[in-house]
Structure 1
Amino acid sequence: MKFVKVEIVDGIAAVSLGRGKVNALNDTIVDELMQCLEKLAADGDIRAIVLTGRGKFFSFGFDIPEFLAFSKAAFTDFLTRFAGLYAYLFTFPKPVVAALNGHTIAGGCMLALACDYRIMISGRAKISLNEITFGASVFAGSTEMLRFWVGSARATEVLYSGAMYSAEEALDIGLVQAVSPGESLIDRARQVADDLAAKPAPAFSGIKSLLRKPVAEEMMRHEAASIREFVEIWYTEDTWVNIQNIKIR
């Protein structure tokens, strides 16, 4: 795979995103990550996953400059496959720990929310669902997964404000469960993954399904309509101007 790398140690698969400086999400990396997860789900020797990024970003979110050239139909197709990816990750039968090595923005935050546990690097990194700040909407999956973790009142605050949260602020509101210095981030994530994987696998998978299936069903019920609305808003004049001014560094 070009952008998704896997390193397996003692049954823990460290899956890292590496695309450019900011690990922006496009067709290829979404497809690669889906293929990777499906393979790891089917591998009986894999007990848990640590999902992380390379460099100073976990993920910036969508590769906006690339999508500027997409038609509505092509963009809708991508969004539908991306929604399928995070829905699959949200209901993945094995433990998945996100090691947030840097900025975790928009679509990157959605991937993180789909995991079982999030550990964020301390320091200058930010986490956000900031779509409203440039005039975009969000997906049904965004709202349901966020509500699952932080509750309705806090989810409303996060989505209406589009605020950028530091690791400590994210910990305080429940966006992440732990904060770690960079030098120990991956080791800490591996330890959490190992602890979760030490539980009887059928029991873990069953409990995870009971917790998440109602949320996943609600996501599925509204996802297609939310994607259509997302696309319509994305291509409005004001939002389009804002999107064109976004720079990926």
Structure 2
Amino acid sequence: MTVQLEFRDQIAVLTLGDDENRFSPTRLDDIDAALDRALDEGAQALVSTGAGKFYSNGLDLDWLGANGDRLDWYVDRVHRLLARMLTLPIPTAAAVVGHAFGAGAMLAMAHDFRVMRTDRGFFCLPEVDILIPFTPGMAALLQAKFTPQTAVAAMTTGRRFGGPDALAFGIVDATAGEDEVTGAAVDLLRPLHGKDRGTLGAIKTTMFGPAARVLTGQQ
């Protein structure tokens, strides 16, 4: 299953796929194309989700293993998606239906809101355990969203947060049962219809501009 986009009323629902939903260059292009379509077709809000037991496991390590000479290009490409979601001029929510690891967890954090499954799946930033330091852009994104206490707990320990744990740490805004996560994320955004894109985009750019500029190499 490839990236898909459907509309529930005027809320665009972007499905990342039904496997581990890792960020291959092709999937990154497909996500960007879906975001373009959502904006072009007048979406009032956007939910991203997965169709299987993963939200996203992040970087495509198999692709990187075969294309090591393109590491810098690839990381920059992931950074650009994170920056775009962070400042998207419509309300956004990540429906974390299952595991969200590494850059997949970062994509969830780049949304305005997050809903996570109560009984299954982990939110995890495993970089400390897999010997991959955060890039300055990724660290800036996470620190723009986490409290200092949560940043230490999530970024320096490799801890796996289940839904209730993630809620207690303020990583997610709500939890929901199996098969209810995406619907709960859609419902969370329904009251936010009608926000002016220019105004909301400007507010997000002001709020998260420093992180977005580090992600896109402008600082």
Q: C-alpha displacement at 1:203, in angstroms?
A: 4.2
1:227 is matched with which residue?
none
One-letter amino acid matched to 2:173: Q
Q: Which runs of 5+ in 2 are unaligned?
A: none
Alignment partner, residue 6 of structure 1: 5
Task: Pick the aligned partner of 2:159 from 151, 156, 163.
Answer: 163
What runs of 5+ residues in structure 1 fail to find an aligned partner? 224-249
- Distance in 1 separating the partners of 2:118 and 2:149: 26
Matches within 5 A, 1:14-163: 14-18=13-17, 21-43=19-41, 45-72=42-69, 74-163=70-159
Post-superposition shift, 1:40? 2.0
Per the alignment, residue 178 of structure 1 pairs with: 174
**Aligned residue in 2 for 1:226:** none
1:52-98 superposed Cα distances (whole Å, 9 cap, x missing partner):
011000011122223211123x1221111111111111111011110
DSSP-derived class of the 1:182 partner:
coil
- Does the aligned pair in 2 maintain the 1:140–1:222 contact within 8 Å? no
User: For residues 97 and 15 of structure 1, what CA distance do their matches in structure 2 show?
Assistant: 10
Q: For each residue in 1:96-139, what CA deviation from the matched residue of structure 2 results, as whole angstroms up to 9, or x when unmatched?
A: 11000100000100110110100001112100111111111112
Structure showing the higher helix proportion among its residues? 1
Q: Which one-letter code corresponds to 2:102 in the other structure?
A: A
Q: Distance in 2 between matches of 1:221 and 1:202?
A: 23
Matches of 1:63 and 1:204 in 2, distance apart? 32
Give deviations 1:130-173, integer Å, cap 9, x for gaps. Answer: 11111111122321222122223431332111111111111111
Match of 1:241 in 2: none
Q: Contact between 1:97 and 1:193, CA under 8 Å: does it hold in 2?
A: yes
> C-alpha separation between the residues in 2 aligned to 1:92 and 1:69?
32
Mapped partners of 2:64, 2:215: distance in 1: 24
Q: Which residue of 1 aligns with 2:186?
A: 190
Number of residue-to-residue matches in the alignment: 219
CA contact (8 A) 2:86 2:204 kept: no
Q: Cα distance 1:62–1:201, how it changes in 2: closer, same or farther (>3 A)?
A: closer
- Could you tell which deviates more after superposition, 152-161 or 131-140? 152-161
Per-residue deviation, 1:197 = 2.2
**How many Å separate the matches in 1 of 2:126 and 2:68?**
23
CA contact (8 A) 2:80 2:216 kept: no
AA matched with 2:65 = L
Q: CA deviation at 1:209?
A: 2.9
**Taking every aligned residue pair, what percent have the same amino acid on both sides?**
27
Q: Is the Cα contact below 8 Å between 1:61 and 1:107 reproduced in 2?
A: yes
Counterpart contact for 1:23–1:58, Cα < 8 Å: yes
